[in-house]
Structure 1
């Protein structure tokens, strides 16, 4: 398949892409899949977009296989989760929430853990990869708010963060990780209920998304008339499977992202654009027929 493409991320390319997207999506029930690119304008860097810093996230096996690895991870996460907590929804998140309220968007499947869709007012959201605000025990499934664990970390590690003078000294990532000067010696508690390993309620690399979330997301895509992918390179299968599902069910796919994605060949339309600019413009265009009624 050769999609209609608007590869020029300038004003003219955006306008042409928006016109084509509005024509294709107008009057359809739209399921939306979002990736890290929708949150960059909220100050959260993405993984693979222009200007992103190459990094190797910790895998599930590494985290579960070593207490030293867990100590290293949690020391970094103690900075990273606070960065996500300070982030606020941008106009792209807000546009999707209003499109849902207007009936154009049926729901959002997000690969992000930042909860910004909910903060913007979106109601039908599948947090495919989990949420940074919760921690779970891998043995007894006890759930603990991340803020509660943060206070415990502070008590167990007094003065540990004194070497950080400013957030500008830290390289943050969208999975609540952060690169900090030192992590050795960071003390990590066990589960207060059973003594098991505590892990963020997020999907690590090498770990599968929970089946119930995947099934809910597949139902959302299957019930829609179109799939709009925003800000995802579709590099990993957890997101790309929804594009394949849409194609199998003859649901047209529109992809909006800076640069190529691994789903481009399956798209009816591909637009190279900022997620914020595209969604704000799409909302305006999809609202026009309603304004004339």
Structure 2
């Protein structure tokens, strides 16, 4: 079997950020800076609206773990290692292990829902301030929360499986049902783990306490039904190998998706980075592209961001968010508060009631400009 050439990037703690502007350390200061950021004209005559680049931190409030946060997978479970694309394709045993892991984890994702941060993006889109979203997340929360605001799922999505031969896509829900029928002992374990709450945490110690034992590499230890016995179905059309419809570690992003992401950056004048450390190159290069185009950049993330000093150079002294913003607040708290602030400000300026729907977007933007 080919050995994976890729390592997991930036699993250690990144340097803490320097807040921009300094007044953004408080919630009112952060809201004022972000309002200025969205209201200011784009630099260099670039398009007026913003594009969002989001990551796992945006979905933490939905009950999903991020990767590099305080309670992220790589911080809490030091032994965790993802399965690489080459391993998955080359090894039947590795696919058993992957689908067993996925079988246990699917229920947590399936019952999770978009949070207030996702819906705030819908509202910012309705106000004409955001034109599109690029997300690294595979949870499908963006298209669920704001179907009218275009979403590009950079790393794919878990809602489907895809055949590596015919490229046909199939429902992950139906695949879960097939796995349960093929693996009744594992299905029983899943029900027990759900009842005990063992799958509600990434912490191996907490999982053991709740009755879900793991071996040293982080996989579930089930002596009565080892991984070698786990069964998974083939493609119903070609009997080919089914994989999750995500970009796995070591797998390349499709050229069409890369192009669409670049076009989304190039079609905006500002970049709003949400809940991501930009640790993956696919995300960082988009932020760098925005910077190289002269776009204004705002970052909302708990904890450090890869190479973030690069994004906040050459700022005018005393700028109060018009050129750049860097804040540390939870997105599910900050973004809804920002929407409320913007709506109240617009209502006060026009003498009307609160602005709540899309038809008012032009008046709103005219008032702020």
TM (normalized to structure 2)? 0.72
Which secondary structure does the structure 2 equivalent of 1:219 belong to?
Answer: helix
Which residue does the alignment assign to 2:346?
A: 290
Q: Which residue of 1 aligns with 2:214?
A: none
2:198 is the alignment partner of 1:169: yes
1:25 partner SS: helix
Q: Which residue of 2 aligns with 1:24?
A: 37
The 8 Å contact of residues 86 and 250 in structure 2, kept in 1 or not, is answered as yes
Whether 1:153 and 2:209 are equivalent positions in the alignment is no
Distance 1:231 1:7, change over 3 A: farther
8 A Cα contact 1:36 1:46, kept in partner: yes
Query: Could you say which residue in structure 1 is the equivalent of 2:130?
Result: 105
Residue of structure 1 equivalent to 2:329: 273
Q: Which has the higher strand share?
A: 1
Alignment counterpart, residue 277 of structure 2, candidates 233, 236, 242: 233
What is aligned with 1:181? 221
Q: How much has 1:23 moved relative to structure 2?
A: 0.9
Q: Give the alignment of 1:1-293 within 5 angstroms.
A: 5=19, 13-26=26-39, 28-54=48-74, 55-123=80-148, 124-164=150-190, 165-167=192-194, 168-170=197-199, 180-182=220-222, 184=227, 185-265=229-309, 266-267=311-312, 268-291=324-347, 292-293=349-350
Q: Secondary structure at the match of 2:65?
A: coil
Q: Distance in 1 between matches of 2:136 and 2:219?
A: 22
The alignment partner of 2:31 has SS state of helix
Query: In 2, Cα distance between the equivalents of 1:142 and 1:117?
Result: 23
How many residues are treated as equivalent by the alignment? 286
Matched residues in 2 for 1:186 and 1:118: separation?
33
Structure 1 stretches of 5 or more lacking a match?
none
Q: Deviations over 1:249-270 (max 9, x none)?
A: 1111111101110141214321
Q: Describe the shift of the 1:214–1:285 C-alpha distance in structure 2 as closer, same or farther (beyond 3 A).
A: farther
Q: CA deviation at 1:287?
A: 2.8
Cα offset for 1:131? 1.0
Structure 2 unmatched ranges of 5 or more: 1-16, 41-47, 75-79, 203-217, 313-323, 351-369
- Structure 1 residue 288: deviation in Å? 4.0
In structure 2, relative to structure 1, the CA distance for the partners of 1:24 and 1:4 (3 Å cut) is farther
In the alignment, which residue of structure 1 is the partner of 2:363?
A: none
Q: Is the 8 A contact 1:26 1:286 kept in 2?
A: no
2:55–2:274 contact (8 Å) kept in structure 1: yes
* RMSD of aligned Cα (Å): 2.3
TM-aligned CA deviation for residue 81 of structure 1: 2.2
Once residues 344 and 253 of structure 2 are traced to their aligned partners in structure 1, the CA distance between those partners, rounded to angstroms, is: 38
